Structures are given as structure tokens and as C-alpha cells.
């Protein structure tokens, strides 16, 4: 009797790093629900490419009811959830003295609150899995900080503390919880970085280049599917920027 296929939910799975994770999981035979907020065409294209292996689901991590809805959709489609990859996030930059107070707190609420809400909704299904896994996509900025990113750095740092605590809470249920902290990656977010700033950042990178989404996806898939004796760890994939 063949083993049942694994299923995964990848938030922000239609673009950039999330799309690369969706692709690599699907190519391994995992059924993947990839969420999108505004990227419906990209999500639909992934579904067309991978057929029944990819399910596009609309989701907004800032909306409390959205977490329950997306988990229900996955369970209605496949009846199980084995892996949760929390990749969706919100970024608003600005130094503490200039960023709007509401914007600052919205970054914390969306990233940290959204992570907690979806993790909580997913727990019963992950507990029922034989080898449940949660991977939080944090950031190297959450480890070392970055001028003009107090809100984002605070949120991404909080995600690490959340993940390590959740790992201790859920280990008895066989659920692994790990964190991936990417650095500067070629995505829509970093496309707006000016040439001067890009050169300055690149000079601080030991590997002297920005990462590619597929490289980060390899690390995320490793934590999700292969790192079966790892929990509560933070894996940094930043080209040496944080050293």
C-alpha cells in the first residue's frame, strides 16, 4: 500500500520566493495550496502548470477570518495538511521618527498576528499528520537589524521567538517548527532598491550577489520535508550578510 501524499500550504505562494517554494514542493510530489492576495493570475498559472497538484487560494494575513477559511479550503480539497510554510508578509519602511505610527503597528499586526492566527487554525490538522511541519520565513533583518526597518525587523524577530516557543509546545505532537531567515533576494520587493544602495548592500555580502528565489526555496523545502530531526532552529540564507 502506497503512502498517502503529503500536502502543504504556502502563503504568498504565487510570486517570488513563495512561487519558487510552491514549484519545488509540487515537483517533489507534494500537493500544494498556494495563497495569493492580489496575484490571482500568477497563482492560476501555477495551477495550470502543475494541474491538480497546486490549488490557488485567496488569503489575506491581515484579515482574521481569512485564516479559518484557507485551512477549511485545504481540508475540503485534500482532507489533510502536513506542512505549513508561512511566507506571506507585509513590509513598510521608514525610520522610527518618520514612519506613520499606524503603519508601524500594522506591520507587527499583519506579520506576527497573521502568523499566529494561521498557525493556530492549522494546528489540529498538523497534529493529525504523521510528521507535521511549520516553516516561518523570517528575515536576516530580524537577526541583525537594518536602518529604516524598525517595524519589519521587530516583526521578523518576533516570529523567531514565536517559532521557538511553538516548537516547544508542539514537539510532543510530532510537529517540527523551524525558521528560515533569508537576506537580500531578487524579488519584487528588492527590485525597488536603487543602484547606489544595491552596490552598498552587495559590498557587505560575502558572496557578492543577491540570492535567487529558487535558492531560498531549496532551504525552505529542506526544513519542511527533509530536516526531520530539526525543530526550533533558525537557518540563515543571506549570502553571509549577517556575519
96-133 tens-digit pLDDT = 999 999 999 999 999 999 999 999 999 999 999 999 99
> CA torsion sign, 36 to 41 to 43 to 47?
positive
Q: Is residue 152 annotated as a catalytic residue, yes or no?
A: yes
162: its cell numbers: 514565536
Annotated catalytic residue, options 50, 59, 152, 229: 152
- Residue 194 has a pLDDT of 77
For residue 105, the SS3 value is helix
The pLDDT value recorded for residue 1 is 40
pLDDT for 3 equals 60
- Cβ distance 7 to 30 under 8 Å? yes
DSSP 185: B
Phi and psi, residue 94, nearest 5° = 140, 140
CA dihedral 223, 145, 163, 36 (to 10 degrees): -70
Q: What is the three-class DSSP state of 53?
A: helix
Residues in the chain with pLDDT < 70?
1-4
List, in sequence order, every residue forming a beta bridge with 7; answer none if it has no partner: 31
The CATH number that domain 7-236 falls under is: 3.40.50.720
Q: What is the pLDDT of residue 204?
A: 92
Any idea where the domains of the chain sit in the sequence? Answer: 7-236
Amino acid at each position: 500500500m502506497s503512502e498517502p501524499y503529503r500536502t502543504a500550504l504556502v502563503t504568498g505562494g504565487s510570486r517570488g520566493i513563495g512561487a519558487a517554494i510552491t514549484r519545488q514542493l509540487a515537483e517533489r510530489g507534494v500537493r500544494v495550496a498556494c495563497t495569493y492576495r492580489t496575484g490571482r493570475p500568477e497563482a492560476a498559472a501555477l495551477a495550470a502548470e502543475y494541474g491538480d497538484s497546486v490549488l490557488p487560494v485567496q488569503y489575506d494575513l491581515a484579515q482574521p477570518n481569512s485564516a479559518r477559511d484557507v485551512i477549511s479550503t485545504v481540508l475540503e480539497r485534500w482532507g489533510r495538511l502536513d506542512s505549513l510554510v508561512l511566507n506571506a508578509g507585509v513590509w513598510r519602511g521608514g525610520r522610527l521618527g518618520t514612519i506613520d505610527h499606524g503603519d508601524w503597528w500594522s506591520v507587527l499586526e499583519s506579520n506576527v498576528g497573521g502568523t499566529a492566527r494561521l498557525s493556530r487554525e492549522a494546528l489540529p490538522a498538523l497534529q493529525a499528520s504523521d510528521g507535521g511541519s511549520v516553516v516561518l520565513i523570517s528575515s536576516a533583518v530580524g537577526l541583525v537589524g537594518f536602518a529604516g526597518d524598525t517595524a519589519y525587523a521587530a516583526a521578523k524577530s518576533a516570529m523567531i521567538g514565536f517559532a521557538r516557543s511553538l516548537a516547544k509546545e508542539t514537539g510532543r505532537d510530532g510537529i517540527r517548527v523551524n525558521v528560515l531567515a533569508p537576506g537580500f533576494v531578487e524579488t519584487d520587493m528588492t527590485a525597488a532598491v536603487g543602484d547606489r544602495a544595491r552596490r552598498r548592500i552587495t559590498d557587505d555580502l560575502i558572496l557578492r550577489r543577491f540570492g535567487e528565489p529558487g535558492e531560498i526555496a531549496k532551504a525552505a523545502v529542506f526544513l519542511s520535508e527533509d530536516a526531520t530531526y530539526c525543530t526550533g532552529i533558525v537557518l540563515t540564507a543571506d549570502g553571509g550578510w549577517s556575519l
